[in-house]
Chains A and B, each alone.
Chain A
């Protein structure tokens, strides 16, 4: 029997599980009993945190007191001290990490990559539902492009379910929901009548899996609006929301894969102190995320966490006493990264040059997915 036979439930399995899941709210139909991703491996879930916005090693592992939680992860996992970045625009560099290909993208380019992303490979190759692969972001409209690319063999139907923490869970939107009122749930005969009208409108046939998934995401958003994420404020609040959302999603959906793409360290252009504050806050939020994983019996020994910036920053301060990213220095082009999980070595330090685009094929390998278009290499040295 192949790996996929273990992890790819039939439609009947999904529907049966979904019917049961209804009684406990939003829990994933796959959450109840999922096995390791690959035979002989312990990992069932992966959290990839792209600490984007431009973060130098000097302010992370060069200032260990500032990032006690990342240091602890490194002590218990694998630390890369020279990850070479793919390009030097935030959007393209972060996109490169999820596609495994150096992407020449404009800084304000608001479009999808031509190449498949990690999330598409994983969903397609493992037959995962949309609710099993998520991306949470903090950079607004542009960052939802990480969910999927434009490759004809992949694309939207294999994309990650993507939420921007600050975009949705903010006071302005919450105020509108309060003003208009939370919509009444459609139930009973109303739900049946809408289902029948939708069937007629699409020309007959059952609803697609995407429609079912959307209904569950709709319910999740409404529930999340009532939690504490919306109230987070201050420097780096958008990043903190993205990490908090990942934490909540792990406990609600128990997804196989969550990508977290941060952005607010870019405040460094004009404020060095603000930048270090964002790093400290993000380290603390990652610490809480890992603490939640450690405290959850089903996640504790089955979840891997990988953290890396998309690139660093200039070697010297600019005229505004901030840090730009364009001098081509090693401070800009090389970053530290951490891989922590049940299948990774403990306390290993890799001082040789590796690439940020190698991270994606490595995670894909952990999943047993084939990132056939990626240019990076699997970092096999991290396996225990």
Chain B
């Protein structure tokens, strides 16, 4: 069977995906690696089919929403919990709401208002984050927006506005917002900037067809740019790393509260590697992980091969296999040491 491989850039939607591709797709769209059942379901399946499956899942949109909330810095005490935003993933999955409309809803939320208090901050952030406008060189527009925020009617970004909610509506529905959204989402997924011409074309399409977002993303994830992202690996965000390490050790994602507490702690370091290492060791030492102990391993070599595939998306080299098998089959916590070494490696962080 023809497989997408880490070094292969000639894409064929009918070709099957390997562990590296599946891991990258799940990390980017679900915010975690595949569960065991998902690996069994999707490994070796055509890329196009897997993308269709993933975009049909509510949890894909739940991850999308988390990424957007993080983009708007609606985290920690500003994180909307138990609000009407909770319904967004379900509505996005059913197609009763578009990505642009979901962003508009975020801009209208109490959390967004609390995060960005006052006319100057609020209008500045709306202009910057919805439309990518450099406000320092658009002071006049800012002043009109601030007036609208305070209830004075004006023409803000080409449309009439006379309230705080009008400011959000105008910016969220502006053609610049569509172009800016496709640019930043393309970069988020491929880890590469979008060519200006492509951004203009895709932005125009999204502005004209607001429901085209999923199709655009599927195109990007079947592109050479995405194949390059899979090939070179991409540094996991702290939130994704927290979920990944739980899935890779315990077969299930952590609760939202645990994810946020650990993500917040990791975000507090310029270089999160030391704390990631600590967390990996805490989880390995804790009860409930599936790290087998030495006597439990019947075939240490096969286990090492499987662990490399699952955690790094590749087979071990001969030298790696020999060294890791030697430790895994040795006395004491050999398998735990193998898992700890892999989980704290820079390669694991760049799935």
Query: CB within 8 Å of B: which residues of A?
Result: 87-89, 104, 106-110, 135, 137, 140-142, 144, 147-148, 156, 159-168, 170, 172-173, 175-177, 180-184, 186, 189-190, 193-194, 196-198, 200-201, 210, 214-215, 217-218, 221-222, 269-270, 318, 322, 324-326
Contact = CB atoms under 8 A, between A and B. Distances in A.
Contact of A168 (B76, B265, B324): B265
A184 B128 contact: no
Given A156-B271, A326-B146, 7 more contacts: A108-B129, A164-B267, A173-B265, A176-B261, A180-B285, A194-B337, A214-B277
A88 B124 CA distance: 11
B146 A140 contact: no
B350 interface: no
A147 B324 CA distance: 36
B165 interface: no
A119 to B, nearest CB: 10
B120 A193 contact: no
- CB-CB nearest 8 A-B residue pairs: A167-B268, A326-B120, A162-B270, A164-B268, A147-B270, A269-B117, A183-B281, A324-B118
B124 A198 contact: no
B264 A180 contact: no
Given A167-B265, A197-B323, A104 B136 contact: yes
Given A141-B75, A200-B320, A214-B273, A104 B286 contact: no
B332 to A, nearest CB: 7
Interface stretch (B7-15, B213-221, B339-347): B339-347
5 contacts: A108-B116, A147-B271, A186-B281, A197-B338, A322-B117
A137 B264 CA distance: 13
Interface string B48-85: 00000000000000000000000111011000000000
B268 A182 contact: no
Contacts of A183: 278, 281-282, 284-285
A197 B327 contact: yes
A326 B268 contact: no
Nearest to B327: A193
Contacts of A200: 319-320, 323-324
B345 A324 contact: no
Given A144-B267, A160-B270, A221 B277 contact: no
B3 to A, nearest CB: 24
Contacts of B115: 108
A172 B270 contact: no
B269 interface: yes
A214 B323 contact: no
A272 to B, nearest CB: 13
Given A104-B134, A198-B341, A201-B341, A172 B264 contact: yes
B258 interface: yes
Contact of A172 (B146, B261, B286): B261
A257 to B, nearest CB: 14
Contacts of B347: 201
Given A160-B270, A183-B282, A221-B274, A142 B128 contact: no
Given A107-B125, A142-B73, A270 B117 contact: yes
B252 interface: no
B134 A198 contact: no
Contacts of B269: 144, 162-164, 167-168, 217
Contacts of A215: 274
Contacts of B341: 194, 197-198, 201
Contacts of B282: 176-177, 180-183
Contacts of B136: 87, 104
Contacts of A140: 73, 75-76, 264, 267-268
B159 interface: no
Contacts of A184: 281, 285
A41 B49 CA distance: 68
A279 B19 CA distance: 53
A165 B264 CA distance: 11
Given A162-B269, A197-B338, A197-B341, A173 B261 contact: yes
Contact of A108 (B72, B327, B338): B72
B275 interface: yes
B333 interface: yes
A201 B314 CA distance: 13
Nearest to A119: B270
Contact of A135 (B137, B267, B270, B334): B270
A117 to B, nearest CB: 11
A168 B275 contact: yes
A68 to B, nearest CB: 30
Nearest to B127: A106
A173 B262 contact: yes
B110 interface: no
Nearest to A134: B270
A381 B340 CA distance: 54
Contacts of A214: 271, 273-274, 277
B75 A197 contact: no
B330 interface: yes
Interface in B134-179: 134-137, 146
Contacts of B76: 140
B102 interface: no
B236 interface: no
Contacts of A325: 118, 120-121
B200 interface: no
Contact of B268 (A144, A193, A201, A322): A144
B42 to A, nearest CB: 27
B251 interface: no
Contact of A197 (B71, B262, B324, B333): B324
Interface in B205-262: 257-258, 260-262
B283 interface: yes
A200 B281 CA distance: 20
B108 interface: no
B267 A269 contact: no
B119 interface: yes
Contacts of B260: 172
B340 A194 contact: yes
B264 A201 contact: no
B125 A108 contact: yes
A330 to B, nearest CB: 16
